[in-house]
Amino acid sequence: MRAVPLLDSGAFDPPAGAPVRDLRRVPIHPDHWYPLAWSSEVRRGKAVGVHFAGSPIVLARTASGTLFALEDRCAHRQVPLHAGVVTGESLRCGYHGWTYDCTGRCVDVPYLGRERLPNGVRAYPCQEVHGLIFVFPGDIELAQERELPTLPSVADKAYKTRRFGREVKCHYSFMHENLMDMNHQFLHRRQMGQMRARSLARRRGDDWMEVDYTFVREGRQPVGEALVFGASKTDGDRDNKDVMTVRTGYPYQTLQIRSDDGTLVMDLWIVYVPLDAAQRTNRTFGLLSIRRPGVPFALDLAWPLLVWFTERIFREDRWIVEREQEAHDRQGADWNHEVFPVINELRDLLRNCGGRTVIPIREVGDTA
């Protein structure tokens, strides 16, 4: 870990002559655990089809509760296995009844002798924690050594956690940059009023970086925000002493707010899982934990307001990152002119940690 001075724009420029990869064409690295569904979406005895970066995957939960993840195609005629039937501890294709166990092995073809069974399909390592179903889409040898995220606030009764998410039509990198760049408060001016972020320090390692912010209010605080996050102490005391830390620990992201005394009052964990092969769409999974105040049930009462408030913020963020993606699609290259060193460093990180291939894109000028 090392501290990096702020506003050193240019520090992460590539060496002269080295071409920089267009970040929007860098695929996410598959050698990590990615949530592909909420636990509640896959009931006992059911199979559900999901996607990771263009690969169709079926999540199946047997009657006994075993969960497994396979390629979502029958080895026979390639139709999706999620349209099949969970039978006992296996999954049966809905077309001709070919049957697969939790390792992807084909264990029955109704009209073929057992001695002539064909090869099966790929199985993915699959684990369930915090109400999320995680799958390891990459090199199966690495699944063991790569850790699942630990989310202490989610398990801690001192916090109440909201699960949220949605499909967003953009490359995952726009999401990381959106959350880490707190200079975009102007986008949320209706909910937040006029806030100015001040970045204090940033730190980084090989596959992570984080930045601390404080905020100065420049106008009046909207009622909604005051109700959710508490009123500023006095109008005169315009400097909020809370510190917000935004961190990308590839491929996940967290945003934590600590009060004066170091208490963690808000703890967000979020990830953006590419759905299509071009990785122009992601499904966002977020866990937002809020520390319960002293008054019992106060947070529960305020919860609907918090949901409304965060949904509005999230909706504005979704809207703007989708416009960023549209611009990139039209321009056919990365025209971004970033002046904030934090974001240039983040882009560097995402480029370095991403997959080694290049996402092919359609050429500009297509009539489509």
Residues in contact with a copy of itself by CB under 8 A are: 54, 56, 73, 75-80, 83, 92-97, 109-112, 116, 118-119, 181, 183-184, 186-187, 196-197, 277-278, 280, 320, 323-324, 327-331, 335-340, 359-368
Copy the structure tokens of residue 49.
């089809």
Q: Which is nearer to a copy of itself, 186 or 308 (CB)?
A: 186
In sequence order, what are the beta bridge partners of 208? 249
Q: Which is nearer to a copy of itself, 22 or 338 (CB)?
A: 338
Q: Which is nearer to a copy of itself, 93 or 244 (CB)?
A: 93
The nearest distance, CB 119 to a copy of itself, in angstroms, is 8
The nearest distance, CB 127 to a copy of itself, in angstroms, is 27
The nearest distance, CB 207 to a copy of itself, in angstroms, is 25
Q: Which of 346, 15, 265, 291 is nearest to 160 (CA)?
A: 291
Q: Which is nearer to a copy of itself, 198 or 233 (CB)?
A: 198
The nearest distance, CB 253 to a copy of itself, in angstroms, is 18
Q: Which is nearer to a copy of itself, 264 or 361 (CB)?
A: 361
Q: Which is nearer to a copy of itself, 94 or 125 (CB)?
A: 94
The nearest distance, CB 193 to a copy of itself, in angstroms, is 13
Q: Which is nearer to a copy of itself, 20 or 227 (CB)?
A: 20
The nearest distance, CB 136 to a copy of itself, in angstroms, is 22
The nearest distance, CB 148 to a copy of itself, in angstroms, is 29
The nearest distance, CB 360 to a copy of itself, in angstroms, is 4
Tell me the three-class secondary structure of the chain, residue by residue.
CEEECCCCCCCCCCCCCCCCCCHHHCCCCCCCCEEEEEHHHCCCCEEEEEEECCEEEEEEECCCCCEEEEECCCCCCCCCHHHCEEECCEEECCCCCCEECCCCCEEECCCCCHHHCCCCCCEECEEEECCEEEECCCCHHHCCCCCCCCCHHHHCCCEEEEEEEEEECCCHHHHHHHHHCHHHHHHHHHHHCCEEEEEEEEEECCCEEEEEEEEEECCCCCHHHHHHHCCCCCCCCCECCCEEEEEEECCEEEEEEECCCCCEEEEEEEEEEECCCCCCCEEEEEEEEEECCCCCCHHHHHHHHHHHHHHHHHHHHHHHHHHHHHHHHHHCCCCCCCCCHHHHHHHHHHHHHCCCCCCCCCCCCCCC
- d(Cα 290, Cα 299) in Å, to the nearest integer? 8
The nearest distance, CB 133 to a copy of itself, in angstroms, is 23
- d(Cα 336, Cα 174) in Å, to the nearest integer? 11
Q: Which is nearer to a copy of itself, 101 or 177 (CB)?
A: 177
Q: Which is nearer to a copy of itself, 14 or 332 (CB)?
A: 332
